[in-house]
Amino acid sequence: MPARLGAFAFRRRATVAIVWLLVLAGTLIAMLSAPPAPPDDFSMPGTESQRTFELMDERFPGVNAETGSATVVFVAPEGSQITDPRYRATIDEAVAELGSVDQVDRVDAPFDSDAVSADKSAAYASVTFDVGAASVTTATRTAVDDVVAGARVGGLTVDAGGDALESGGPTGVAEMIAIALAAVILLVTLGSIVAAGLPLLTALVGVGISMLSILALADTLGLSSTSSTLALMLGLAVGIDYALFVVSRYREERAAERTPIDAVSMTAGTAGSAVLFAGLTVVIALAGLTVIGMPMLTKMGLAAAGAVVVAVLAALTLVPAIIGLAPQRVLSRKARRDGVVVVEGKGSTKPSAAQRWSGFILHRPILSVVVGVLALGLLAIPVADLRLGMPGDESKSTSTSQRRAYDELATAFGPGFNGPLMIVVDAQNAPAPHAAVTTIADRIAAVDGIASVSPSMPNEKGDTALFQAIPTTAPTDAQTETLVHHLRDIRGDLVRGTGATFTVTGNTAINIDLSSKIQGALVPYLATVIGLAVLLLLIVFRSILIPVTAALGFLLSVLAALGVTVLVFQKGVLDSVFGVEVTGPIQSAVPIFVIGIVFGLAMDYEVFLVSRMREAYVTGVGAREAIARGMTQSARVVVAAALIMMAVFGGFVVESDAFIKMLGLSLAAAVLFDAFVVRLCIVPAVMALLGDSAWWLPRWLGRILPAVDIEGGALDKSDAVPEPESGTPAADSRA
């Protein structure tokens, strides 16, 4: 099917190219008329914090908890007090100006709402908008910034933070870095401007369609800006890589003196089949995030999976179509001049880098395995200290107003002020509801780790009340997490004799619940992905030991990458190099996405390398020679693909968003370890040690496994040697 599809795209190249451009234009028109993307949905059905929010919706009708908010912090100069008449006048004027800003519903003045610190060094004004945070316009944010800037007179420090002031989305710097680096790598690898530009062009078209589609459907499907950034990151990476694999195989088929149409057909049937399989593994892994039960992860996974699907379709149709528009220009300058394509390692007495490397691995397999496993194992050790959380404004750069506001509030009101716990008391069955609420509030205030509690706010019926409990520690501090669990554990003692009960929620509590649930799903999800990897590779390579080796290598690379992430973001090793302002917990969703994405990428490299080895082995070449041939034919392209992946993912480390920064570094490290250490070192070394046994498959299993031909054996009957029938002695060693 891929061979026929590629040939069709080649013949109807103009039509196929026009269709892709029309789809791109259509998604652009749809995006321009669509509402903006909603904020990230961190809800987690089934958790206490989420059930509490649902109870609040029921007991406090008309109170919209989803409106955007901001906090403007005023700090007096050192040695002065914020209550000084000149500063008070400036603050009152700023509050009045904020109240007149479009989309602002109300502003709670600090001197009227008891929002002044105990030492009178600082105060804050709470701003509530009449729309959700995602709907706050740029003009409104600019107006708030102007008020803040105008209040900085007489030495008064003024900063603002809050979800409504988050602009969100990628800055564009990461994409430009990634594309520039990818262009250089492609040019060096392919030696032709046209050949290097083709993967970039098709990837950009595919990513453009994916991104515009996500933005067009963002409001309808609830896809946040984080979902679009992840889809952009992954779509760009796999889009370039898949097109690179196709272009490289086309040039190789032209070296076999095939006509352009035959070369495209064979390319689509071999490299295209491998791309189809590799893309399927990524999609399955990302779609598998739905089992975790977190809406945000599900939407992000499905959005990224959609970008991968578009990248696969582009590789199978748009790339052959563009090749059809310039079948000779895709070849290198030397190939066009000489009329042939020079294949690496042929026509030269000097061994290529891939030949020299494969020779080293084949002659020192034990050393290669030991060094590779030890290196990755040592890097994986920090994973034992992995702590998940949801970093907020404290993870931003100190150059941002949000981070400065966070620090100023923490200094003036205590570190726990930025992450209050919301206590909701259900006194529906209490004989004296008001007294029950007061008793519970007093008992919670006396718990170690609680700095203070706010006055309670009852609902209209008086059967439910809520108040804030301010921890003594910061929102992402491990002691705050312990405090939340402790309050829930001693709930029976705190409500004894009142007839009421309470639950704990708020952003801090729900983030803790999310992290706990994701951490609990981490090992089962990893086990599922590894099992899936073994099954898929078992079908593709008809071998028992190769899939097991590949899966264990994937596990090593993932753990090593997460270990590096813990070292940088949690322990502060080389934190200044990567622009990490404050160390803390790893964003909860990072490990899950690293597992899912790296699984697909690892299968990419495994398929493209080992399929060429099997292609040689089933034609009668010895096991060690098959390894050497496979690495000679594929290593250069795999190295280029891995470098492009690292460039794309590494480029996102410059983003200010903590999640994107962590994910970018984790994925770049994972690609480095998986491609260069696992696939180009450990896997061929293990196969060399196993010899013919690497390809062993029980006869009974060979009979029931479906036949998957990604080497293109069925496309060229005249040149291929028929594979032995399953169940014969030869089949046991070569099937």
Q: Can you say whether residue 462 is alpha, beta or left, with left for phi > 0 and alpha for psi between -120 and 50 degrees?
A: left
Whether pTM exceeds 0.85: no
Contact 2, 268 (CB under 8 A): yes
How many CB atoms sit inside 10 A of residue 571's CB?
Answer: 12
The residues, ordered by sequence, that sit 6+ positions from 727 with a Cβ below 8 Å of its Cβ are 699, 702, 703
Give the side-chain half-sphere CA count within 13 A for 378.
Answer: 5
Q: What is the pLDDT of residue 471?
A: 92
- How many degrees, rounded to 5, is the angle at CA 143 between CA 137 and CA 148? 130
**Phi, psi (5° rounding) for residue 424?**
-110, 115
d(CA 536, CA 555): 16
How many CB atoms sit inside 10 A of residue 328's CB?
Answer: 12
Contact 688, 361 (CB under 8 A): yes
Q: What is the pLDDT of residue 344?
A: 45
Residue 215, CA distances (Å) to 35, 116, 232 in order: 8, 42, 11
The candidate with the shortest Cα–Cα distance to 447, out of 408, 409, 493, 407, is 493
The number of angstroms, rounded, from the C-alpha of 653 to the middle of its chain's C-alpha atoms is: 12
d(CA 653, CA 657): 9
- How many degrees, rounded to 5, is the angle at CA 137 between CA 135 and CA 141? 120
d(CA 726, CA 735): 7
Q: What is the pLDDT of residue 733?
A: 37
Contact 6, 316 (CB under 8 A): yes
Where would I find the H helices in 498-622? 507-541, 545-565, 589-617
Largest separation between any pair of C-alpha atoms in the chain: 96
The number of angstroms, rounded, from the C-alpha of 30 to the middle of its chain's C-alpha atoms is: 26
Which tokens go with 401? 């107003």
Residue for token digits 């690495």? 631
Q: What is the pLDDT of residue 351?
A: 73
Which regions in the chain score pLDDT beneath 70? 36-44, 62-66, 134, 167-174, 224-226, 333-350, 391, 709-735
- Provide the 8-state DSSP code for 590: H
Q: What is the pLDDT of residue 730?
A: 37
d(CA 665, CA 667): 6
Contact 171, 104 (CB under 8 A): no
Give the side-chain half-sphere CA count within 13 A for 214.
Answer: 30
Query: Radius of gyration of the chain from Cα atoms?
Result: 30
Please report how the helices 623-651 and 658-671 are oriented relative to each other, as an axis angle in degrees rounded to 10: 160
d(CA 654, CA 193): 28
Neighbour-count burial of 106, counting CB atoms closer than 10 A to its CB (0-12 exposed, 13-18 middle, 19+ buried): exposed
Q: In terms of DSSP bridges, do strands 388-389 and 586-587 run parallel, antiparallel, or are they unpaired?
A: parallel
Give the torsion sign (CA, 466, 471, 476, 478).
negative
Neighbour-count burial of 33, counting CB atoms closer than 10 A to its CB (0-12 exposed, 13-18 middle, 19+ buried): exposed
Which tokens go with 213? 């589609």
Contact 590, 659 (CB under 8 A): yes
